[in-house]
Amino acid sequence: MNLQSLHEPACYGSVGSSRGRLLEWLRAHIRRLGRGEDGSIVIETALGFMITMTMVLVIIECCMMVYTYSVLEDAVREGVRFASIHGIDSSSCSGPSSGCADSTGANVVSDVTVYAGKFVGNLAGMGVTVTYPDGKSTPTSRVSVQIVYTYQPLFRFPGASHVLQVSSQGRIVY
């Protein structure tokens, strides 16, 4: 009994057969692949490129989310400014006071939506809430504007969709 027959299953035949030669050839090439470093640079470059590109895309996504948050902050401030100068003494009054044509604050919501729409593309997930904590829109009364927006990510990374909440308060001037 030779040593080669101990390492080969019976289905491969003897060493002299074509299957035996093929098996020897495969073993020799597999051993050679394990010893050399041919192609390792290509694999390392490909892995490094994938990781680098993923990090670049994540950074871009984070920057876009911060930009969107900043635009929403500005839109909320614009809504408070709009509501503060359109009190009961204004010809185009917005607020719950009697005599105001816009008792629900729809003009404020419209102003906020138009402002945010100039800078943020998709406003489908945005909700604007205008409240008057003092219950009136007379001078020195408070007004509060809040935006709740489901962020629409540029790239579909898992966990990239977040709910952004922004609010601001002010007082009605006139």
Task: Tell me if 59 is assigned to some domain.
Answer: no
Q: What pLDDT is recorded for position 156?
A: 79
The pLDDT, as a whole number, for residue 55 is 93
Which pTM was predicted?
0.72
Residues 86 and 165 in one domain: yes
pLDDT at position 24 is 87
For residue 131, give the 3-state DSSP assignment: strand
Q: Residue 14 has what pLDDT?
A: 52
In this prediction, residue 138 carries a pLDDT of 86
- Domain check: are 70 and 22 in the same one? no
The number of folded domains in the chain is 2
45 lies in a domain?
Answer: no
Residues 94, 152: one domain?
A: yes
Query: 110 with 151, same domain?
Result: yes
Query: What is the domain extent for residue 101?
Result: 65-171
Looking at the structure, tell me whether residues 104 and 145 fall in a common domain: yes
Q: What is the pLDDT along the chain (174 residues), one digit of tens a residue?
A: 455 544 555 555 454 577 788 888 888 877 776 666 667 788 899 999 999 999 999 899 899 999 999 999 999 999 999 999 888 887 888 888 887 888 888 899 999 999 999 998 888 889 999 999 988 888 889 999 999 999 888 887 777 678 999 999 999 887
- The reported pLDDT for the residue numbered 103 is 84
Indicate whether 49 belongs to any domain: no
- Asked whether residue 87 falls in the same domain as residue 153, the answer is yes
Contacts 24+ apart (CB under 8 A), 55-64: 57/155, 57/157, 58/157, 60/154, 60/155, 61/153, 61/154, 61/155, 61/157, 61/160, 64/153, 64/154
31 and 106 together in one domain:
no
**In Å, how far are 13, 14, 20, 103 from 6, measured between CA atoms?**
12, 11, 13, 93
Identify whether residues 18 and 71 lie together within a single domain. Answer: no
